[in-house]
Structure 1
Amino acid sequence: MNDLLNRLFGLEGLGFGTPDAALVFERPLPGWGWALLAVACVALGLWTYRRLPGGGVTRALLACSRGLLIVLLALLAAGPQLRLDQIRVEPDRVFVLVDRSASLAVPDAPGGRTRAEQAEAALALAGPALEALRERSQVAVWRFGSDARESGESGESGESGDPATRIGFALAAVLDEARGAPIGGIVVISDGRSTDRVPAGVLRRLESERVPVFAVPLGSPDPVRSVGIERMESPGVAFVRDAVPVRARVEWSGGAPADARVELFDRVTGQVIDAAPVEASGDEPGAWVTLTVTPEESGTRDLGVRLVGVSEDIDAEDNTRRVALEVIDRPIRVLYLDGSPRWERHYVKNLLLREASIDSTAMILASGRQYVQEGDTLIARLPVSPEEWDAFDVVILGDMSADLFGGEQLAQLGEHVAQRGAGVLWMAGPGATPGSWFESPAGVLLPLRPGSIGVWDEPVVARPTPEADRLGVLRTGEDGKGWLERLSDPGAGWTRLQWALRPKPQDLKPGVATLAEAVGVDSGASAPLVLTMRYGAGRVALVGTDEIWRWRYGRGETVPERVWLPLIRMLARGRVESALGAGVLRVRPEQPRPGSPAVIELEVFDQGVIDRLPERVRAEVVRADGRRDSVDLRGEGASRTGEWIPDAPGAFAVELRDGPTELATLDASARVVEPGDERADLNTDHGLLAALCERTGGRVVGPDETDRLAEWVPNRSRVHTGTPIIETLWDRWVVLIAVLALASLEWVGRRLIRLA
């Protein structure tokens, strides 16, 4: 039928039956208008024939013919035509941005999954919804980190690991990619941790173009908890029955662990040797935990330290550290020299005799050089050669004059400490120690500077410092751990020390550590009481009172033993340790940024090295490609510092190029990171994502709700209308024939009934 009409009207391109083509009028009337016009035309025809002669039927037919002709002329006057509108639908675009940065490796998603696994699960769940959106929109999946690029329909890409997340850059990239095309929405699957800010211009474009952002937050909104053992401190070698301190530095982020503890265990048998809780102090993100092992047999102990009781730790690999301890089975050889039979000397001498792990020689040196000798092993004379000093691991020097020794003897003692790792324990007294020793060759072994050292004019009580816990000494508590707090209580009476040195802070040498303080009973003032310092391969300590024996009145021999024996054992370890660090080299901050100053710090512990340390020490920063940058470290006392400005990211090593030979092996490392390296902070930022959604009229979509994206992403497709294609019908020859046919039909009818 359509083909017949097209041939009748001479239509070739646009015709009847053409899809989306419509018959319209150039001057259209509503449907009721055409109905009234048809009725009026028929009525007019009937009215014109109402009085004419002829049969009624004939006149009615002629009237209808006239009416049809008038209707046809009216239709032609309305301008009938075929019209095909040129309509083009421009589909909108939907972008799915999937984070692929390094922070997605954090396993803080539900079920212990990583954020990357959660992202892939959310993307897989969104598959049907994305397919539904593809029926009306152009959907593209992009991966972004420090850059942004399309990854195909599947969205598959390599492993996460980009050091930066630039959400602002990614949003700008997809807006530019659209090139003005309508955007139905941008789906951002990310943890929100961004190393750039969303530019104000990008936000304005999102708002002006009405582009909603649908954010799928990954990971936990709570701060990331990371707890681990960052550093270990322990002697490499110890004696049998030595209470060896093993210290672990536990550091955390995302809040202090509530019930965490550190265990020292035997890696061979699995037996737990000691355990202690991790106790946070203030806002400091870390704490030291000191454990103790007392080996009963010689040999190599394979020990381990582990962190237990930690929940929600993102990285458990740093919760265990290995500790190797070489145990030597031989008595500690102690030479105890004093100038008078004072109470402190009496009880210390007896303590040394009782202790099976110590082989002692005790002598009183009178001013007339008459020797009174006691102990496990007797000697014929005071040591007068390096070989004779070498027989002793620790030398205790009581309250006696330095004049009782020859200068060469004391010089040999200094060499014995510095070169062979011996220890010296100074027991101060009101007579000659330390005052008479400052100008002697042994003065280098005193932790005090030469000068007049004050004395307390009131009783004092003792109070330990954290350094004592670090070294595992002054553990006077009931179980041999911690400090017996009663000793710091002056109300007990027997805890009061009636005589003690009162050095000022400036009296201490640079490398000295304070193990205990004296606190005035009346004034409450404090001053160092027990001091220690490294000297070469060995160590020295000074106890600034000879009143420790008074503590026997409250606790018997136990408390004094817990003071003296650990000090002696600590001083003796240098004799058997093969590698002792004279200092430490650090870079602060540990992760500097390019163009920002970093400080290289040299801290020296060995007083013998400090005395020879030049004002300027040269350090070299070694790059990965072998290039070196020189940095001068300057200062005085025990530390030297210098400024280094890294110019590029990467791994760097720091080495000392001059200074005392004891420092030649010191080194440090630093990893320079870009300001955009998000590994410095692995916490999520769901607030950023929520703010983006609110600002753009989008919504936050849970990772388990992505299958409903098709419901929420609006259709922003555009409809474009072009110039329509029109074929007029009123000017066709078939129309003229129809008009003439109707007119002729009426004329013939009128002639048949003999009308004019």
Structure 2
Amino acid sequence: MFEFLFKYPRVLWQDASLVFAAEWPLWVMAALVIAGALLLLLSLLRQPLGAARRALVFTLQAMMLAVLLAMLWQPALRIETSEPGRSAIAWMLDTSGSMQRIDHEGAGSTTRQQAALDALYQRSRSLDGDFSHRWFAAAEQLEEIAPPAGAASPEPLSREAIEAALADSDVGTASPLQGTLLDALDGSGGNTPVAAVVLASDGAATGTAPDSDWWRELAERGIPVHAVAVGEAAVEDDSALIDVDIAHELIAGVSNEVRLHITHPTTLESMHMRVESASGDLLYASTLDLPGDQAESAHVIRLAVDEPGTRELVFRLLPERLDRVANNNSQSRLVSVVKRPQRVLYVEGEPRWEYKFIRRALASSDAVDIVSLLRTSDHKFYRQGVADAEELAAGLPTTAAAWNRYDAIIIGNLAAASFTGEQQKQLRDYVSERGGSLLMIGGRDTLADGGWSRSLTAAALPVLLDGDVDAVESANRDRASWQARITLKGRRQQWLDISTGRADAPPESDVPLGDGEGSALTRPGESTSAVFGEDATDTAADAGWSDLPALANRQSVGVPRTGAEVLLDALLDDRQEPLLVWHRYGRGTAAVLGTAGTWRWQMGLSHLDQRHERFWQQLLGELTARARPQLDIRNSADVLRDGEAAEIQVVAYDDEFQPLAEPALAATLVRPDGREEQLGLAASADRPGVYGATVPAEEAGPWGVRVALPEGKAGSGALTRERWWMRDALGGERFATRLDSGFLEAIADATGGSFRHIDNIDGLESALVLANAAERHERTLPLWNMPALFLLLLALKLGEWLLRLKWNRL
């Protein structure tokens, strides 16, 4: 309607200036308007009209005179446009696999690619007088569609020629838009410079995500990209397992957290999930509840793998109805399953119930190997769980290297005075420098009562301890029935859900493992929860804490520091005090637990109830998982697709956890066929202890890297780690079924182009005329004959006639 009334599109008016094409001075037009208005006024004064009526008629007639004179002065729009035929528009069609999708079934349905071609070709012909046209197909590479043999090269390509070329081209299994778009902006070797690029795509780019350098390079080309979005953001007939986040190293038999990212129809309420070994053995199955109002969700499951070795795990979705793209419902991950529990040192000042029950709770855990040092008298300790006769033979560790052997340290009922100043500093540095985890639990000679507020270790603790011992002694002897309750921040920690340890939880033998499509179960301790709407886990988390026996000896932990998180509270009537608090300190984690009475949970519950064991196993499992490893191998991706290379990075420390100072590290590369070859890891120039290499890894299948610390750098014994990943032969296109309009819009914004959906493509031609990088010239577009002016004259005259008719003064 705007273009009908004002002759030109709105976008053209926005960037143009209004001028008068006639060479007559504007003051002449102003003088004629004033003179004409006076003549009209003199004429109306002779007519028998009242003052109000005379003023109304004068206004209408004066406006008509002004409009007529403005039309005589020839109003026009002045814009800058390109020289016709001197530059080209690059019409870039995404021809990857996702663009072959049909979004709506039915009569006349077309693929996304065909819909894009239909819309763009029609617009291109309307610009024949301004630009030449170059057509490109973009999938794994950018290919220009050449004219058919024998065709006159200056002539625009016909639709039939473009369709024939697209039919002969291979459907891409990847769409690295980051590279093909830059090629199109460079003209891809053509003779006619590109003035603008029209990119028709669903935005589903695969390969390496664009970084800041790519965005800067895109903008520096100086050529606008006009993005046309094709497809739908919500796909109601396809589910996809987009990502699986699992640790690359699992401890055999230990439940590990796995995060799943799923897209699905909003009408789907649930979906079955299975995890299988490469040989087809079922490891896990459950039913995932889906949020009905969203098209994607994140879920957490817990998975245990019993058999050590390198294992391929296949995560598989089983939608409850027909799924259009079936090969995006599963993903594989390679993990190393090891029997290497994390080591925890527990230092206790006296034999007490808490010591006994903590050791008992951790004794059945395959994830944690607890080493305890129990003081039996002054300067005498009883050792349990040591690796050899030399470990802790002299009592408390006296060197940083001795503390660093452990992934977590528990300080029980032992006063700060039992440690020398150097040992207190070593404990602090163990957290901040080594990146270990420190837990201090309640007792009459610990926390503030044990003088720890005045120790060098106090800086690492997540609370400000009260320095006045007498002020807190009464709290230490508080025998009231304090109840432990999980906080809001605690609910966000999956490991604090101990509900699966309840006595009324179904034993594993009662849960059928199912062997067919659609079978589902939830194994004990392996709960699922949607991340979207975290309150969904509140009921399960609260169920584990609601009926635990009272602690009966709560101790004040002081005031939590800024940034610390209170995970558990102690409740008594209307009183509420922090019970379990933790925070990050330097590279590590420190926590305090203001009680030594968790053993009462075990004594007051059924012998079948495992919540006490769950709490300590999961708490220590989390603390040790947060500890920084001495040797860590990192990879850019667990699964490589679409030409990506594996960027291997190794972070290594010596036995005192100082960055390894070696010019290079030797590694072993394991290829999919089992062949091994040496791989050199070069030291980083600006990051001590960091080594790296790039592995192309073109061959599909499992790849691995094995690294060992040089002799004498690992402390006691050799230290070897390995990391595995997959090269996916099918590519990432099968996961890209949904429109990513955000990526396309960002491209348009970064280049000064425009963005529109294919269903609202009007105005693209005008945007191309105005926003392009071609040589510019000034152009004047006449406005005197636009319909809006004639309609205005007609409305003014008709209004005067109707008024005179009403007044009987025709």
TM-score, structure 1 as length reference: 0.46
TM (norm. structure 2) is 0.43
The structure that has the greater radius of gyration is: 1
